[in-house]
Structure 1
Amino acid sequence: MYRVSTSQDGAIGNFEPLNQPAKDYTKETPLPNLLKSSETSSSNSAPPVAKFTLVFAPTRTLEVNP
């Protein structure tokens, strides 16, 4: 389970693991790669416009909640 903030263009500006499994398995999710690509965006200093909670399940399902 992660808290994710996005910029106006949809780029991931930040993410935070919310539980121990998320901390343990962060490198097995696409989040670090998506964050890295958004750091090169010129809108990186803008405040987040959307915040979501993401849940990556071991069954390879993704749950997104506002």
Structure 2
Amino acid sequence: MDIQWRKSSKSSNAEGADCLELAFVGGEILMRESDNPDVVIRTSRAKLRAFLGGAKAGEFDDLT
């Protein structure tokens, strides 16, 4: 299966640059880090939406 990974336009285009990549396959959201592409996390649209909403609201700012 050819997965079409997407990354943010805010990510660096440099080879090996760290960024989070997303794909939509079979009703699931797949996530991976560009520097470790063999590890893939699967989640749902609803869970990703909840996480992104929390991130936009600053709920995780203390972790950075």
Q: TM-score range by the shorter chain?
A: under 0.3
Give the TM-score of the pair, scaled to structure 1: 0.26
Query: Whose relative contact order is higher, 1 or 2, with alpha carbons under 8 Å and at least 6 apart?
Result: 1
Give the TM-score of the pair, scaled to structure 2: 0.26
Structure with the greater alpha carbon radius of gyration: 2
